[in-house]
Structure 1
């Protein structure tokens, strides 16, 4: 295939033009590289390379001004703003930067289109006066300040541009305006220089003025790249601008218009694919490239054009491994680099002055991939130690001093991360730069495997150096919050450039990078409304009708720009793959683009349209199953020798696989720090408080005076146990204070229940408190000892009847402690787990001769205290009202039979651990 660049060079060569003396001006630097590469194809002799520059470079040379970054423009503009605005009416720099960005864009547009500045700013001011009924005598201060702002726009512009010109610098629009002013001088000094403009489409007024004047002085030629299909159709936006140029430029009244081509009508293979979601598009691009590489292994002359540049990383991760040569024109955004999240976390932590920090923010920074290695001292991972201490002690807010107490050997890095910021911008920048240096020294020890990370650090070091320079020169950043705002502004525009071979292999680029370039195979992604074209967006202070009045571009012209780029990619291509997202999303693009509909309605090419659905395999839900081996059985035997607790056995009943994880593999669930007191912590506090209260009364009868005396100790004992269990967690406010009061109320209500019982004439004798049991259970089928172990909350004698009591801080009803079918007690966790637990306690205490049958066993529920002692009961049927609450030898024997079956199942080599559906 021939390309537009080659056709231009061939035309110049055929007209006997000396290529070496030409000055080529193109829309982008990248296009210049391709032009230089094509030169050898049109000449048979060695020549000096012509001058090849982009339009921005040409205009800068003509204007004699140097461009400055958008961020520095903000700082310069704030200087003008402060000079022209009363101090009491000035916005802080952080607030100013939000609206100033929009105003700078408007300044840029006004200058690029050579609009008389005073006229348009006065026009805008007059509009606002009318809008706010300024003829009314009584105006509020808000309206006065608002109108004052609009009245000052021209003053702001004049002062700002004057300051920039005094420094021989400017933004793009100002550079263009000055270039037009200097054009006569440029022509006088370059009478022999010949210019060739090629590949342009939408030109601003300054560019039009410059190019037309050069054409009129016969020192320039211009080549357009437009197809007759678009040009001859007055409604086709792809040729909107070229039609205007041909019609309006006087030069074309007497000179030919190069060129209107006939490439678009050539036969093409166009395939359109609807793919759900962005990741789906990325994966399908990988599939297409894999298929294309079968016939073109190098993927030479193939381009992937990303309509949505956020697809870059997913696309790179989806590329087939067979691709050898790859060139990525777009930069990798710094905001997507892991290091960006570290500094964002630090700025968020320090932007509001505080003496202590929320533990999750601290852990987030300490666990960061670039910070964690810095806490590795003397072969000890102090980061893990710090995180474990925070979680174990429920430390919700930490001070730098507390952090240094936990990890004294990391005080330098702790100071840098948490102490020395002092809400000072200079200190913040200094700490960030020092942190980068420390991370760099750590990474340099293993340089070969950390080259990419070191490149990240280099770019962030340059970013913070720029922030330091701007702040030292302008001193506008007064606090860390403003610094964070400017940091994000800089970060959003900075990229990490890829290294690649621009002339070989697969090319990945954005839509604007494709200008002037031609490829045989093109894959275009995200062809959706709101992306291609970008649709209506009005990020400007200039109203739509004012833009129309002054010939400033609106969304109509911007859409036409996208239309041109889209169709220009298609002009010379033979194989075209267009992908759009079938899932319309307001934030990431709407329905399929009008470009697709237009292609289909043109009826010029045969188009294949497919909806691609990802292959989703049907996965049959399969419950986890662990077969027992002799080695696994040995581990079960060890557990049996140590003792099965009632809770571990009920855990097996609930889900055998959980028993396997916890008792065999010793896998514990990770516990974060408890911001709010957990239910089990509340239960432990209540249990331990009651143990303290009743332990002195073991083997004695309770009296009303005994219990009444305990009530005065509730606050002290509950506080003591909260401190012991909840460690450094705060129980003085919020939900935790409520839970603390609930714990006291539970204990108080329980004591009231005891007093009520005693006053009613009941006799209560405490036999044991927190009684530990460990007994052997005889199972003849097993050739190893099996123990049961557990701790009973309380054993007492109530009017001569022994009671085994288990405390529950949750809500338990009487039906939860009754059974009908003995066999179900080891299979139905939800119904019978509590009965299983109290019967196990009864069995153990009977085996160890601590109690004599018959006894009662049951639960006291602190959320259901009105029901009193909930006794275990055996019912003949679910509807029967007859209950047997006394636990006799028959009861124990029936339970023991089921218990032994359960233990035999656990210890049976042929019975795997099978996960239950939950």
Structure 2
């Protein structure tokens, strides 16, 4: 296939143009690279290279102004703003930057389209005056200030642009306006210079003025790239601008219009694929490329055009490994690289001044992949030590000094991360630069494996150097929050460029990078409304009708730009694959683009339209099964001799694999910081408080007077145990204060229940509190001793009947301590775990001769205190009228003992592996 650039060069050669003396002006630098490459295919002899520049470079040369970054423009604009605004009325730089961004865009449009500035600013001021009842005498101060702002717009613009021109710098619009003003002078000084403008479409008024002046003075030639299908259809937006140029420019009244081609009507293979989600599109691009290679199609003339540039990384991860040559025209956003998250976390921590730092923020920073290695000092992981101390002591908020204590006072890194940020902006920037230097020194030791990370650091070092320069030169950054805003603004515009073969292999690019270029095979992604085209976004202070009146571009012209780029990609292509997201999402685009519907309705090409559903394999997750090897059996014997507790046995009933992890592998759950007091912590505090209260009365009958006296110590003992269990966690506010009050209420309500019982004439004698039990169970089949161990919360005699009491701070119902079938007690955890536990306590205490049968065993639920003591009961059948027997007799324990031994035999059986249950 021949390309547009090749055709232009061929036409110039046939016209006997001296290519060496021509200045080629193109929409982008990338197009210039391809033009230079095509020259060698056209020419047969050696020549001096022509001058090839982008339109931005050309107008900069014309205007004698240098373009500066949007961030620096904000600083320059703020200089003008504070000169024209009273100090007591001026916004801070952070507030200013939010609306100034929009105003700068409007300045840019006004200048690019050569709109008389005073007229439009006066017009905008008059509109606002009318909107706020200009004839009303009693305007509020707010309305007065608001109208004053609009009336000052022209003054802001005038002073701002004067400052920029004086410094020989400018924004794009100002550069274009100055270039248009200087074109006649340029023509006078370059009367022999030839200019070729090729591949342009939507031109602003400045560009039109410049090009038409050069054309009228016979110093330029233009080559348009438009197809007859589009230009002959008066409603087709792909040719909206080209039709205007052809019809409205005086030059083309009697001069040829180059060119109107007929490429679009030629046969093409066009396929449209609807694919769920962005990742689905990225994966399918990889599949398409793989299929192209399998069909022996070269990727040399293939382009992947990303409608949504956020798809770059997913697409790169989806490329077939067989692709060797690759060129990526768009840079990798600096905000997406790993070290960006570090500075994001640091700014998040410091932008609000505070003496203390939230523990999650601290852990997030010291665990970061670029920071964690710096905490290894003399083979000691100080970061791990800090995290463990935070977790162990429930430290929710820490000062910088406390962090230093945890790091043994020996780490200057703590100062860089957590100290001195609030003192001054220079100190904060210095901390960031020093931090980058420390990371660099570490990475330098392993340079070979960290070249990419060093490149990341270099770019961030440049970014912070630029921040330091802006702060020094303009001094508008007054706090960390403002610094963060400027940092984010700079970061959003910075990219890390890829290195590749610019003219070889597969090309991956954004829509704008495709200008002037032609490819045989094109894959276009994200062809959805809101992306292609981008939709009716309007970040402007200029109302829609005012834009129409002044010939400023609106969303209609913006849509027409996207339409041209889309159809231009299709003009010379032979194979086109259009991908769109079938899942409409307000954040990432809506339904399929109107471009796809338009292609189908045109009827010029047959569109192979398919909905692609990703193949989702059914993954059978195998049950987690652990066979009982000799080492496992030996560990089981050790556990058995040391003692099975009721909770470990019920844990096995619930899920054998959890028993294996905890008892055999000794895997413990990590103790995280409890910001809010956990249920088990509340239970421990209540248990420990009641142990304190009742331990002195073991062997005695309690009385109302004793209980009343205990009630006076509730606050003291609950506070004491919270301090012991919850460590340095704060229980003075929020949910924790509520839970602290709940703990006091639980204890108080329990003691009130005791008082009611005693007043009713019941006698209660405390037999044991937190009684330790350690008994050997005779199981001859095993051949080794088995011990059952456990601690009983309370044993008492209630009117002469011995009771074994287990406290539960959660809610327990009577049905939870009732059984029908003995066999189910070791198989159904959810129904019978509470019964199993209290029966185990009774069994142990009977074996150790601490109690005489019959006894009662059960639970006191602090969330169900009104039901009192919930006794274990054996029911003869299920149902509301079943007979219950709540006395635990020898027969009861014999039946339980049989099931208990069977359970232990199963645990120790070499032929029964630990098998995970579905919970």
The alignment's TM-score, normalised by the length of structure 2, stands at 0.98
Q: What does residue range 887-902 of structure 1 map to in structure 2 within 5 Å?
A: 887-902=888-903
Given that 1:77 and 1:160 are in contact with CA atoms closer than 8 Å, whether structure 2 keeps it comes out as yes
Unaligned runs of 5+ in 1: none
Given that 1:301 and 1:505 are in contact with CA atoms closer than 8 Å, whether structure 2 keeps it comes out as yes
Instruction: Give the aligned partner of residue 250 of structure 1.
Output: 250
Given that 1:623 and 1:914 are in contact with CA atoms closer than 8 Å, whether structure 2 keeps it comes out as yes
Instruction: Give the aligned partner of residue 8 of structure 2.
Output: 8
Rounded Cα–Cα distance in structure 2 between residues aligned with 1:577 and 1:389: 57
Q: Secondary structure at the match of 1:8?
A: helix
Instruction: Give the aligned partner of residue 138 of structure 2.
Output: 138
1:297/1:845 Cα in 2 relative to 1: closer, same or farther (>3 Å)?
farther
Could you tell me how far 1:338 is from its partner in structure 2? 1.6
Q: Secondary structure at the match of 2:807?
A: strand
Question: CA RMSD, aligned part only?
Answer: 1.4
Could you tell me how far 1:769 is from its partner in structure 2? 1.5
Rounded Cα–Cα distance in structure 2 between residues aligned with 1:422 and 1:242: 56
Q: Secondary structure at the match of 2:88?
A: helix
Q: Secondary structure at the match of 1:88?
A: coil
Q: What does residue range 621-700 of structure 1 map to in structure 2 within 5 Å?
A: 623-700=623-700
Q: 1:266-287 CA deviation, whole Å, 9 max, x = no partner? A: 1111111111110010000010
Instruction: Give the aligned partner of residue 291 of structure 1.
Output: 291
Instruction: Give the aligned partner of residue 917 of structure 1.
Output: 918
Q: Secondary structure at the match of 2:198?
A: strand
Given that 1:820 and 1:876 are in contact with CA atoms closer than 8 Å, whether structure 2 keeps it comes out as yes
Instruction: Give the aligned partner of residue 309 of structure 2.
Output: 309
Instruction: Give the aligned partner of residue 841 of structure 2.
Output: 841
Rounded Cα–Cα distance in structure 1 between residues aligned with 2:519 and 2:410: 56
Instruction: Give the aligned partner of residue 263 of structure 2.
Output: 263
Residues 506-515 or 131-140, more deviating? 131-140
Rounded Cα–Cα distance in structure 1 between residues aligned with 2:697 and 2:392: 34
Could you tell me how far 1:424 is from its partner in structure 2? 2.5
Q: What does residue range 465-864 of structure 1 map to in structure 2 within 5 Å?
A: 465-619=465-619, 623-864=623-864
Q: Does 1:351 align with 2:351?
A: yes
Q: 1:103-162 CA deviation, whole Å, 9 max, x = no partner? A: 101111111111111111111111111222211222111211111111111111111000
Q: Secondary structure at the match of 1:368?
A: coil
Could you tell me how far 1:555 is from its partner in structure 2? 0.8
Rounded Cα–Cα distance in structure 1 between residues aligned with 2:590 and 2:886: 69
Could you tell me how far 1:409 is from its partner in structure 2? 4.9
Rounded Cα–Cα distance in structure 2 between residues aligned with 1:865 and 1:255: 99
Rounded Cα–Cα distance in structure 2 between residues aligned with 1:909 and 1:581: 55
Given that 1:351 and 1:423 are in contact with CA atoms closer than 8 Å, whether structure 2 keeps it comes out as no
Rounded Cα–Cα distance in structure 2 between residues aligned with 1:837 and 1:311: 56
Instruction: Give the aligned partner of residue 422 of structure 1.
Output: 422
Instruction: Give the aligned partner of residue 908 of structure 2.
Output: 907
1:617/1:4 Cα in 2 relative to 1: closer, same or farther (>3 Å)?
same
Rounded Cα–Cα distance in structure 2 between residues aligned with 1:539 and 1:123: 19
Residues 387-396 or 857-866, more deviating? 857-866
Residues 539-548 or 658-667, more deviating? 658-667
Q: 1:408-437 CA deviation, whole Å, 9 max, x = no partner? A: 155311111111112522221111111111
Q: What does residue range 167-206 of structure 1 map to in structure 2 within 5 Å?
A: 167-206=167-206
Q: Runs (4+) of structure 1 moved beyond 6 Å?
A: none
Could you tell me how far 1:669 is from its partner in structure 2? 3.0
Could you tell me how far 1:758 is from its partner in structure 2? 3.1
Could you tell me how far 1:666 is from its partner in structure 2? 2.5
Given that 1:350 and 1:423 are in contact with CA atoms closer than 8 Å, whether structure 2 keeps it comes out as no
Instruction: Give the aligned partner of residue 154 of structure 2.
Output: 154
Residues 817-826 or 568-577, more deviating? 817-826
Q: Secondary structure at the match of 2:368?
A: coil
Could you tell me how far 1:339 is from its partner in structure 2? 1.3
1:832/1:430 Cα in 2 relative to 1: closer, same or farther (>3 Å)?
same
Instruction: Give the aligned partner of residue 337 of structure 1.
Output: 337
Given that 2:425 and 2:478 are in contact with CA atoms closer than 8 Å, whether structure 1 keeps it comes out as yes
Q: 1:328-367 CA deviation, whole Å, 9 max, x = no partner? A: 1001111111211111111111111111111111111111
Could you tell me how far 1:474 is from its partner in structure 2? 0.7
Instruction: Give the aligned partner of residue 433 of structure 2.
Output: 433
Could you tell me how far 1:815 is from its partner in structure 2? 2.2
Q: Secondary structure at the match of 1:614?
A: coil
Rounded Cα–Cα distance in structure 2 between residues aligned with 1:88 and 1:696: 71
Given that 1:375 and 1:410 are in contact with CA atoms closer than 8 Å, whether structure 2 keeps it comes out as no
Given that 1:856 and 1:872 are in contact with CA atoms closer than 8 Å, whether structure 2 keeps it comes out as yes
Instruction: Give the aligned partner of residue 381 of structure 1.
Output: 381
Residues 655-664 or 226-235, more deviating? 655-664
Q: Secondary structure at the match of 1:408?
A: coil
Could you tell me how far 1:878 is from its partner in structure 2? 2.2
Q: 1:232-253 CA deviation, whole Å, 9 max, x = no partner? A: 1111111111111111111112
Could you tell me how far 1:623 is from its partner in structure 2? 4.2
Q: 1:664-696 CA deviation, whole Å, 9 max, x = no partner? A: 233333332101111111111111111122222
Instruction: Give the aligned partner of residue 29 of structure 1.
Output: 29
Q: Secondary structure at the match of 1:503?
A: coil
Residues 879-888 or 197-206, more deviating? 879-888
Given that 1:297 and 1:323 are in contact with CA atoms closer than 8 Å, whether structure 2 keeps it comes out as no
Q: Secondary structure at the match of 2:197?
A: strand
Rounded Cα–Cα distance in structure 2 between residues aligned with 1:139 and 1:759: 76
Instruction: Give the aligned partner of residue 106 of structure 2.
Output: 106
Unaligned runs of 5+ in 2: none
Given that 1:423 and 1:479 are in contact with CA atoms closer than 8 Å, whether structure 2 keeps it comes out as no
Q: Secondary structure at the match of 1:784?
A: coil
Given that 2:422 and 2:480 are in contact with CA atoms closer than 8 Å, whether structure 1 keeps it comes out as no
Length, aligned pairs only: 918
Given that 1:817 and 1:832 are in contact with CA atoms closer than 8 Å, whether structure 2 keeps it comes out as yes
Could you tell me how far 1:227 is from its partner in structure 2? 0.9
1:298/1:639 Cα in 2 relative to 1: closer, same or farther (>3 Å)?
farther
Could you tell me how far 1:452 is from its partner in structure 2? 1.0
Rounded Cα–Cα distance in structure 2 between residues aligned with 1:493 and 1:423: 28
Instruction: Give the aligned partner of residue 885 of structure 1.
Output: 886
Rounded Cα–Cα distance in structure 1 between residues aligned with 2:585 and 2:498: 30
Rounded Cα–Cα distance in structure 1 between residues aligned with 2:553 and 2:761: 95
Rounded Cα–Cα distance in structure 1 between residues aligned with 2:883 and 2:41: 104
Rounded Cα–Cα distance in structure 2 between residues aligned with 1:831 and 1:852: 28
Could you tell me how far 1:485 is from its partner in structure 2? 1.0
Rounded Cα–Cα distance in structure 2 between residues aligned with 1:228 and 1:863: 81
Could you tell me how far 1:621 is from its partner in structure 2? 6.3
Given that 1:298 and 1:324 are in contact with CA atoms closer than 8 Å, whether structure 2 keeps it comes out as no
Q: 1:202-225 CA deviation, whole Å, 9 max, x = no partner? A: 111111111111111111111111
Q: 1:794-829 CA deviation, whole Å, 9 max, x = no partner? A: 122233322211111112222221222111111121
Residues 230-239 or 908-917, more deviating? 908-917
Could you tell me how far 1:297 is from its partner in structure 2? 6.5
Q: 1:854-885 CA deviation, whole Å, 9 max, x = no partner? A: 22211122222232222212221223453222
Rounded Cα–Cα distance in structure 2 between residues aligned with 1:367 and 1:298: 46
Q: What does residue range 862-881 of structure 1 map to in structure 2 within 5 Å?
A: 862-879=862-879, 880-881=881-882
Given that 1:267 and 1:605 are in contact with CA atoms closer than 8 Å, whether structure 2 keeps it comes out as yes
Residues 249-258 or 46-55, more deviating? 249-258
Rounded Cα–Cα distance in structure 2 between residues aligned with 1:315 and 1:910: 50
The alignment's TM-score, normalised by the length of structure 1, stands at 0.98
Could you tell me how far 1:707 is from its partner in structure 2? 2.7
Residues 276-285 or 291-300, more deviating? 291-300
Given that 2:835 and 2:872 are in contact with CA atoms closer than 8 Å, whether structure 1 keeps it comes out as yes
Given that 1:377 and 1:409 are in contact with CA atoms closer than 8 Å, whether structure 2 keeps it comes out as no
Instruction: Give the aligned partner of residue 212 of structure 1.
Output: 212
Q: Secondary structure at the match of 1:200?
A: coil
Rounded Cα–Cα distance in structure 1 between residues aligned with 2:607 and 2:750: 80
Rounded Cα–Cα distance in structure 2 between residues aligned with 1:881 and 1:213: 105
Q: Secondary structure at the match of 2:450?
A: helix
